[in-house]
Structure 1
């Protein structure tokens, strides 16, 4: 079973044999999302993650009150880096879900393509799966992805976004050599939910990364005196200036596009 496959998680894109791997300069590297002509302009498009911030986050004030140490996550650069990195792939059409029990959920839609399908719970271990007996389903995606040579894509649940109805599995796909629709298996975790999940609901966060940039070796050791002194220095800086990490240590990342306003 291939990672993030669950047998038929991926479906072959029509007429993809002539596709060429994207060749771009390092500074101009792009990710490309493509769909079939009859779906283009009809289904919601993938969108940079920082353009679809959760409503609760958008409305959150930067501070809980006056004085020091009153910041909220609205001013937390690490939180926003995760929230805004990569692209969000949304649900293609609205789906009505009616949970019958912990073990079964019914679903239907009016869209003329299959939007959801079932998986056998045995594929994730059956009763041994930590979220058993919740059912395993799969959201279908109609955007094929192409990236420059040497890049892969991490598909994961939208980071720092709360979704109680379903829990998407994460996976890494080498989209520079594997040109398919990648669908999204998940656990349905809302046994009492009945209602419609609208088109455009964020399903997955797609984060492209360069494979040869992954650190694969590590050293586990005891701190030396210099490292202990450096940690104490960092603690002193952070305790003396509330936004020290944000203003002095945070580094711009091509994949996370902005910091929240002061």
Structure 2
């Protein structure tokens, strides 16, 4: 499946490109140990670094990058981004914008009169017919000082405008630079289709298979990764 990104020609040389999520895994994941001693149980346990579902979720789809460095000082955002002048341009030249507080009134995201943050992207995204784009906060990235909201865009039809990403700023104590290229959203193509749901009681064969699988996973490390996982 092809995912096609397009940007204005004058921005081609200055924009960071979206990257496969598995390329943009955070440094803390690379640094953390594969096993750690648990003081309560008194045993050595595998960490999430060895958990295939955890890693597969973080590495699936692609990441949309912050367009330039953002300086944050006591809640004030500033940037120095020297974009080339383009006569007749119709898009914002700012890497961020504000989402009015009224737009989330009555939701858990409401924080008085404080507006939401909106990361402006400068790429259009096109998917094949029948596919939508699930856009969410980068998976398991609670280290980031913001949290992007989740939305779904029909990117097989909405192909001629940028997709921007609304986020709430969750770390008021943060002061410093949010670097260019910081992932502001993780995007996962999903096929649009309807679902039927069935609820059943296990047969004896299914109960035996369940018990065998459970016992195997309880007794041996890496069973899922070795025998059941499909490489993404």
| Both structures adopt the same fold (TM-score exceeding 0.5) | yes
Q: Which runs of 5+ in 2 are unaligned?
A: 38-42, 84-92
Name the CA distance, whole Å, in 2 between partners of 1:141 and 1:55: 24
Residue 146 of structure 2 corresponds to 166
Q: Are 2:226 and 1:247 equivalent residues in the alignment?
A: yes
Q: Are 2:108 and 1:130 equivalent residues in the alignment?
A: yes
Residue 185 of structure 1 corresponds to 166
Verify the 8 A CA contact 1:135 1:188 in the aligned structure 2.
no
- Partner of 1:38: helix, strand, or coil? helix
Q: Give the TM-score normalised by the residue count of structure 1.
A: 0.75
User: Shift in Å at residue 192 of structure 1?
Assistant: 2.2
Residue 50 of structure 1 corresponds to 22
Q: Are 2:89 and 1:110 equivalent residues in the alignment?
A: no
> CA-to-partner distance for each residue in 1:221-257, whole Å, 9 max, x for gaps?
54454433332121111122211111011123xxx3x
Verify the 8 A CA contact 2:132 2:189 in the aligned structure 1.
yes
2:182 counterpart (182, 193, 201): 201
- Partner of 2:8: helix, strand, or coil? coil
Verify the 8 A CA contact 1:82 1:159 in the aligned structure 2.
yes
Name the CA distance, whole Å, in 2 between partners of 1:70 and 1:211: 39
Name the CA distance, whole Å, in 2 between partners of 1:44 and 1:164: 19
Report the CA distance shift for 1:205/1:131 in structure 2 as closer, same or farther (over 3 A).
Answer: same
Name the CA distance, whole Å, in 2 between partners of 1:194 and 1:202: 18
Verify the 8 A CA contact 2:104 2:110 in the aligned structure 1.
no
Higher RCO, Cα 8 Å, sep 6+: 1
Name the CA distance, whole Å, in 1 between partners of 2:144 and 2:131: 31
Residue 85 of structure 1 corresponds to 60
The aligned length equals: 215
Report the CA distance shift for 1:169/1:211 in structure 2 as closer, same or farther (over 3 A).
Answer: same
User: Shift in Å at residue 37 of structure 1?
Assistant: 1.1
1:95 counterpart (50, 67, 70): 70
User: Shift in Å at residue 75 of structure 1?
Assistant: 1.5
Q: Which runs of 5+ in 1 are unaligned?
A: 1-28, 100-104, 257-262
Q: Are 2:50 and 1:75 equivalent residues in the alignment?
A: yes
1:152 counterpart (109, 132, 141): 132
User: Shift in Å at residue 154 of structure 1?
Assistant: 0.9
- Partner of 1:158: helix, strand, or coil? coil
Which region of structure 1 is more displaced relative to structure 2, 130-139 or 116-125?
A: 130-139
Give the aligned CA root-mean-square deviation in angstroms. Answer: 2.1
Report the CA distance shift for 1:53/1:173 in structure 2 as closer, same or farther (over 3 A).
Answer: same
Verify the 8 A CA contact 1:138 1:185 in the aligned structure 2.
yes
Name the CA distance, whole Å, in 2 between partners of 1:200 and 1:248: 36
